[in-house]
């Protein structure tokens, strides 16, 4: 009965209301536990508070600047009940950029906590009222609404097309864009993932990815809500605390993005790593090598999926998906790999007997959805809308190639394409190969301008704690033993770091890496020609190299 009621809602509000009579434990955070009913009652109280505080005529938006505390899912549920939308605010933003994000959403209420108050003190936020959750003033406000029931207090009609999320997507240039997600899309995504992963009411979803990001809400919180499953919150991701949390909360499901899996694999192995209740991890960017290592060490299957942040395209993994592929297009999507310059479909990928892609230059293109797209637009950003939807097609901004059977392979972002000696390469493909090196805990590949024309390959490597100092001969031997590593894929520059620079969502901070290039404070190794051995990059090398860039009129390309 619980599952039937939970999965039928056409809106998030209906899914929230279905938990009103559910008195099972449903939320865990540190030493706190709450039932589904208590969480729903808290959401109803916050919906009533929102209805009273939001000025008449204001957009029904509330900005949420919080870590993963119980307040975050309660405000998500409150917004759904009230016909409002939560705008997740990234706490790594600072100063005018942070103020811009809040004001861009036109939110008139900002919900935050004392730990984040220093971020907003001194910011010019006209017309924005701040609520600080861990204060007596806030508690007193909520006490006035303790008797509220779901659906009693709204600020706008609650309909399938009502906005419920505004979540920022980052890019390599320009300010972050706030993607719109409606109640119908979020509820539909939750129901779809329930079916795909077989989520049960007795499951516990461990939410350790930041909830201001779409991944945690759409792929973790929404299916838990749709199935009537519980959620366990981690304030911020911690690789060292991951397994202890999973055992403590009896968690069965989690999501990940970016380098989270690499960080977990970099922790000290223990003989009882297999002793955990997890059934599945769902996310992106783990890579086939790390997914296999994770399954071997923890006994947990990782399911790599793909869905553009804005909802415009998705790929579904099936049992017959070959190694390295993401899957096929989700039924109903007309996905194609297209050459952006010609608007024509790229030919199928060709592989040699060892699985090496032979025609990457012509097979790799941008993934587009030529059919009906679920993309719901960006908030107050028609230029970004027009860039995303062109000629009636949804352009994902991601590079893929497709084999003859229709399986799709991720090849990176469009701004992660390199052109080396007139050949187009995808950074993600090179990263996949370099990640096989056992000494590396994390790998990032990106382009630096060639002094004459095109690009050169640069890689940043973070070594495992137990790894010895970098051995150029050992690394060269590793490169020569990789059957699918083409000669133009070999990095010209190697930057060695103790820890990979990442964004707030654990994705590699490629913009910072590209801008620094070989002019960085960390040790850099390089080879001047493809056949030369790697050696340390010295100040004298830098002086000579910059002179070559100046002679060719390309020095201004560095640091972009």
Q: Over 90: is that where the pLDDT of 414 sits?
A: no
Q: How far apart are CA 108 and CA 269, in angstroms?
A: 48
Mean pLDDT confidence for 389-397: 93
The answer to whether 181 and 215 have CB atoms below 8 angstroms apart is: no
Query: How many Cβ atoms sit within 10 Å of the Cβ of residue 333?
Result: 20
Q: Over 60: is that where the pLDDT of 4 sits?
A: no
pLDDT at 149: 97
Q: How far apart are CA 100 and CA 323, in angstroms?
A: 43
Q: List the beta strands (DSSP E) in 195-334.
A: 204-207, 230-233, 253-256, 280-283, 301-304, 306-307, 314-316, 328-329
pLDDT at 93: 86
pLDDT at 225: 98
Share of the chain above pLDDT 70, in %: 96
pLDDT at 274: 96
Question: Which two three-digit tokens encode residue 244?
Answer: 């202890």
Q: Which domains does the chain have, with CATH numbers?
A: 2-236 (3.40.50.12780), 238-304 (3.40.50.980), 323-416 (2.30.38.10), 429-557 (3.30.300.30)
The b/e string for 19-37 (b: 16+ C-beta within 10 A; e otherwise) is bbebeeebbbbeeeebbbe
pLDDT at 302: 93
Residue 429 backbone phi and psi in degrees, to 5 = -70, -40
Angle (nearest 5°) at CA 143 between 137 and 149: 140
Query: In this predicted model, what pLDDT tens digit does every residue of 168-211 receive, in sequence order?
Result: 986 544 578 999 999 999 999 999 999 999 999 999 999 999 99
Instruction: For the chain, report the end-to-end CA distance as a whole number of angstroms.
Output: 57
pTM above 0.75, yes or no: yes
Q: How far apart are CA 204 and CA 66, in angstroms?
A: 22
pLDDT at 173: 45
pLDDT at 170: 60
Q: Over 90: is that where the pLDDT of 68 sits?
A: yes
pLDDT at 30: 97
Query: In this predicted model, what pLDDT tens digit does every residue of 300-329 receive, in sequence order?
Result: 999 988 888 788 999 988 889 998 788 999
- Report the mean per-residue pLDDT for the chain: 91
In the numeric block, the tokens 């923890």 are attached to 298
């Amino acid at each position: 009965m619980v599952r039937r009621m939970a999965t039928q809602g056409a809106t998030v509000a209906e899914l929230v209301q279905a938990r009103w009579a559910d008195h099972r434990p449903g939320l865990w955070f540190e030493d706190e536990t709450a039932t589904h009913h208590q969480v729903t009652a808290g959401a109803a109280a916050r919906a009533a508070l929102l209805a009273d505080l939001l000025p008449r005529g204001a957009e029904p938006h509330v900005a949420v600047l919080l870590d993963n505390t119980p307040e975050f899912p309660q405000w998500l549920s409150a917004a759904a009940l009230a016909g409002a939308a939560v705008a997740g605010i990234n706490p790594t933003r600072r100063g005018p950029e942070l103020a811009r994000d809040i004001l861009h959403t036109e939110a008139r209420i900002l919900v935050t906590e004392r730990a984040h108050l220093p971020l907003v003190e001194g910011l010019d936020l006209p017309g924005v009222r701040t609520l600080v959750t861990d204060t007596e003033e806030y508690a007193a406000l909520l006490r006035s609404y303790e008797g509220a029931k779901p659906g009693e207090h709204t600020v706008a009609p609650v309909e399938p097309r009502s906005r419920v999320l505004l979540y920022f997507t980052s890019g390599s240039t320009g300010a972050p864009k706030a993607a719109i997600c409606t109640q119908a899309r979020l509820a539909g995504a939750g129901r779809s993932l329930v079916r795909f992963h077989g989520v049960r009411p007795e499951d516990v979803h461990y939410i350790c990815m930041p909830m201001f990001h779409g991944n945690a809400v759409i792929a973790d919180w929404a299916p838990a809500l749709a199935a009537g499953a519980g959620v366990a919150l981690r304030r911020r991701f911690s690789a060292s605390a991951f397994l202890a949390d999973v055992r403590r909360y009896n968690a069965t499901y989690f999501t990940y993005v970016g380098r989270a899996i690499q960080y977990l694999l970099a922790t000290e192995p223990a003989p009882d790593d297999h002793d955990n209740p997890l059934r599945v991890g769902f996310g992106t960017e783990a890579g086939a090598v790390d997914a296999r290592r994770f399954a071997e060490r923890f006994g947990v299957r990782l399911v790599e999926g793909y869905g553009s942040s804005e909802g415009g395209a998705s790929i579904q993994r099936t049992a017959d998906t070959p190694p390295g592929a993401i899957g096929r297009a989700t039924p109903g999507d007309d996905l194609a790999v297209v050459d952006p310059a010609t608007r024509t479909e790229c030919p199928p990928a060709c592989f040699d007997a060892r699985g090496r892609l032979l025609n990457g230059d012509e097979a790799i293109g941008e993934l587009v959805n030529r059919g009906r797209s679920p993309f719901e637009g960006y908030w107050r950003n028609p230029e970004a809308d027009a860039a995303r939807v062109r000629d009636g097609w949804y352009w994902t901004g991601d590079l893929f190639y497709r084999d003859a059977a229709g399986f799709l392979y991720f090849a990176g972002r469009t701004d992660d394409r390199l052109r080396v000696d007139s050949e187009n390469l995808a950074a993600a493909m090179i990263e996949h190969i370099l990640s096989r090196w056992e000494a590396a805990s994390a790998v990032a590949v990106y382009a630096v301008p060639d002094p004459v024309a095109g690009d050169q390959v640069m890689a940043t490597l973070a070594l495992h704690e137990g790894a010895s100092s970098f051995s150029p001969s050992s690394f060269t031997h590793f490169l020569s033993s990789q059957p699918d590593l083409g000669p133009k894929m070999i990095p010209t520059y190697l930057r060695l770091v103790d820890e990979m620079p990442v964004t707030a969502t654990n994705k590699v901070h490629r913009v910072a890496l590209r801008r620094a290039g070989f002019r960085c404070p960390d040790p850099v190794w390089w080879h001047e020609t493809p056949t030369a051995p790697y050696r340390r990059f010295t100040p004298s090398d830098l002086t000579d190299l910059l002179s070559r860039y100046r002679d060719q009129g390309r020095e201004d390309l560095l640091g972009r």
